[in-house]
A and B are shown apart, each in its own frame.
Chain A
Amino acid sequence: MSEITFTRPLEPVKRAIIIGSSSGIGKALALRLAREGYVLALLARREDKLQKLCETINNDTLGKATYFLHDVKITTGVPDLFVKVCAELGGLDLFIYNAGTQFPNDPSVYSTGNDLDTFQVNLLGSVSWLNLVSERFEKLRSGHIVVVGSVAGDRGRMGMPAYAASKSGLHTYVEGFRNRLSRHGVVLTTIKPGQVSTALLKNADKELWPISAELSAEYIWRAIKRRRMVVYVPSRWFIISWLIRLVPSILFRKLNI
């Protein structure tokens, strides 16, 4: 892919990695960034979808894309993969962790397997990536890390304790990195999407004013441009989440949300 690694000092290009980009918000975000001229490395498990997305980006947009197969549950090969991806891109300016999974919202199910799976994809998969990327960006004294969390992470929810806890853990983990790295010129953005029309929405118990993945990608792109810290997508979820957070636990445990 020498075409991508080629750099010209007067024509700098922005380079980004998106983890979890084969569908949903990740896919929409990849297309949005490609329209801005980004050079992208798309990482996910499903090759056919990635291949198709890369073709669309390379043919129809300003940007360029290449893909790598990666399962975030397998963390052993991440350092080597990171070196390979950066070499392919010829640098890195933006890192987006968007991998996420959610099992159907069912308070009657107690499944250790499902919960561990949720933690592995939503939280633990980010650990090795965030450490590697943060270390690199700290040395460079620049860079932007975007992590896609969820409004669900703001409270423990009876139907999806593992999902809520994994996203909450991710928020706190990223906040810690933000406090460590912002003094070195690195920006970390936590995106908290509300309901977005993706495959994950099918697992929610009820739909509440969902927005399309494309619109959410537009909001996320604005947050990236403005170098924001924590952003609810769409912003009305800030108010909803604020109200939910105000509910005392003694009441919250009796509610069906």
Chain B
Amino acid sequence: MAWGMASEACCYVYYPENENDLLEIFELAKVRGMTVGFRGGGQSYGDASLNGEQILVDLSGWNSILDWDSKNGIITVQSGVTIAQLWRRVVASGWWPPVVPGSMNPTVGGCASMNIHGKNHWQVGSFGEHVIEFKALLPNGQTVCCSRYESQDLYFGMLGSFGMLGCFLSITLQLKQISTGAVQVTALSAANLDDLLHIIDSRKDEDYVVGWVDCVVGGSSVGRGIVHTARHTELSDKNIMTDDGSNNKHELPSKILGILPAQYLWFFLRIFNHRVGYKIVNMVRYYSGLLRNRHRFVQSLAQFNFLLDYIPNWKQAFCPGGLIQYQCFIPYRNAHTVFSKIIHYCTDAKLQPYLGVVKRHRNDDFLISCNLDGYSLAIDFSVKDSNRARLSSLLAKLDEIVLDAGGRFYFAKDSTLKPEAARLFLGPKTLARLIDLKILCDPNNLLQSNLSRRILPELHDYQVNN
């Protein structure tokens, strides 16, 4: 099942122990005419980690940290190591992964193959930009070592290629040095979308900037929300995080608001899983933010970054239909128009997202990349039998708006993109380059996933005569 629970598939799952096992799996797939997909933490919202009725290689068992140079902050890990393992190992030595997603459960291999970003994308770029080098096994049997200076084509191609070119064996990352493991957070409330984008843009010299948008409210307050900015604290700052030698001070709290046990809270969230519930939650959130406007507080980096992990299993509140996220990246100049159109379209279709998040982004050099100089808006929808068809046609309309504005999409979160939209977003040159690389790395067309078959069928439309 995909993390968002809106898509599921039955797969033949293999748990390889080493490279040789993986080679055997490739051989088996070749002989039996099957295809191979990869799964790490299984944390993609959509169908990226599924390969229905085919072979699925679960790499979560490849979870060893191979080398850790705490002096220079360079770590080499197997691809199944999770972000949680990574930060817990390095934080005590004064280092932190430069780019982390909203949850600590994805694997490093997954983060690399989706080239994920964090709340600091404008400052430090995407995950791939911090990969010094990686070793990968290609389905053609070759093991390659790639970096910015060696096998560049594959380096820029594989990072972000959603597992279509090969399997990461080990990844070497340059970490970021930190003094305290804490950040000074400032919460700023924004009265409307214009205000929100302005605050995010004006605060982009902070280390982290993220905006929460109330997508339920209409009228003159469309796009109101709260921006959280954070800056790494220095030792010279008032050091509130006493060091007891353990990682406990960094961990997420087990109780919300000091009394509610986080573990069981998802059950109560179910009560709010309807339009009126979203209105109540969003309104309470906005006005509580307004009351505490310009409020400053200190949090550990984990507490600030891994918001999605505060309430374990919160996605269960959306059972049985699950949830999907729609994230689009819009160039700077068009962002305001497009975001307000998107929120209006959702309101008109009576399909309000229960959550909206805005981030600031910058360009990068990777072959498959959603990143551009502009903003992204991520909106979450609850999926029910009654709204599936409407949601699908709404998101198809949103795709058109995004493409018209020169926008991009993010495959890690996608559940709805159609081949025509994916083709327009990538462009013929990028697509041809990706297909060339795929033919080179995977001549037998073994690597596929539900996502790749859905969005880029032409990626699997070749045959190479050996």
Q: How many chain B residues touch the partner (CB < 8 A)?
A: 24
Contacting residue for B454 out of A6, A87, A136, A139, CB 8 A: A6
Q: Which of A8-16, A199-207, A213-221 contacts B (4 or more CB under 8 A)?
A: A8-16
- Chain B positions within 8 Å of A11 at CB level: 388-389, 392
Complex-state Cα separation, A162 to B168, whole angstroms = 60
A90 interface neighbour in B53, B391, B395, Cβ under 8 Å: B53
Closest residue of A by beta carbon distance from B415:
A9
Q: Do the beta carbons of B53 and A10 come within 8 Å of each other?
A: no
Tell me which of A2, A6, A9, A86 contacts B10 (CB under 8 A). A86
Q: Report whether A140 and B10 are in contact in the complex, using a CB–CB cutoff of 8 Å.
A: yes
Q: Are B10 and A7 in contact (CB under 8 A)?
A: no
Q: Count how many chain A residues have C-beta atoms less than 8 Å from C-beta atoms of the other chain.
A: 19
Interface residue? A156 (CB, 8 A)? no
Q: A86-B53, A87-B53 are in contact. Are A10 and B6 (CB under 8 A)?
A: yes
B-side binding surface: helix, strand, loop or mixed? Answer: loop
A245 to chain B, nearest CB (A): 40
Contacts of A136 in B (CB 8 A): 10
Task: Write the nearest CB–CB distance from B50 to chain A, whole angstroms.
Answer: 9
With contact pairs A9-B6, A9-B416, A10-B416 given, residues A91 and B392 touching in the complex (Cβ less than 8 Å): no
Set B52, B54, B383, B457: member contacting A10, Cβ < 8 A = B383
CA distance A140 to B53 in the complex (A): 13
- Closest residue of B by beta carbon distance from A137: B10
Q: Closest residue of chain B to A80, judged by CB?
A: B32
Q: A90-B53, A91-B9, A140-B10 are in contact. Are A10 and B453 (CB under 8 A)?
A: no
Tell me, in angstroms, the Cα distance from A139 to B389 when the chains sit together.
29
A7-B450 in contact (CB<8A): yes
In the complex, chain A residues whose CB is within 8 Å of the CB of B9: 7, 90-91
Q: Are B47 and A7 in contact, with the CB atoms below 8 A?
A: yes
Shortest CB–CB separation between residue B29 and chain A, in angstroms? 12
CB A49 to nearest CB in B, in angstroms, measures 27
Shortest Cβ distance from residue B161 to the other chain A in the assembled complex, whole angstroms? 21
**Is B97 an interface residue, CB under 8 A from the partner?**
no
Instruction: Give 1 or 0 for each of A3-46: 1 = CB within 8 Å of chain B CB.
Output: 00111111110000000000000000000000000000000000
Asked if A6 meets B453 with Cβ closer than 8 Å, knowing A86-B10, A91-B10, the reply is yes
Interface flags for B369-401 (1: CB within 8 Å of A; 0: not) read 000000000000001000011011001000000
**Which listed residue, A10, A83, A92, touches B391 by the CB 8 Å rule?**
A10
- Contact residues of A with B, CB < 8 Å? 2, 5-12, 83, 86-87, 89-92, 136, 139-140
27 contacts between A and B (CB under 8 A): A5-B52, A6-B457, A7-B7, A7-B52, A7-B450, A8-B416, A9-B2, A9-B7, A9-B46, A9-B324, A10-B388, A10-B389, A10-B395, A10-B415, A10-B416, A11-B388, A11-B389, A11-B392, A86-B53, A87-B34, A90-B9, A90-B52, A91-B9, A91-B53, A92-B10, A136-B10, A139-B10
4 interchain residue pairs of minimum CB distance: A9-B7, A87-B53, A10-B392, A9-B415
Q: Which residues of B contact A (CB under 8 A)?
A: 2, 6-7, 9-10, 34, 46-47, 52-54, 324, 383, 388-389, 391-392, 395, 415-416, 450, 453-454, 457
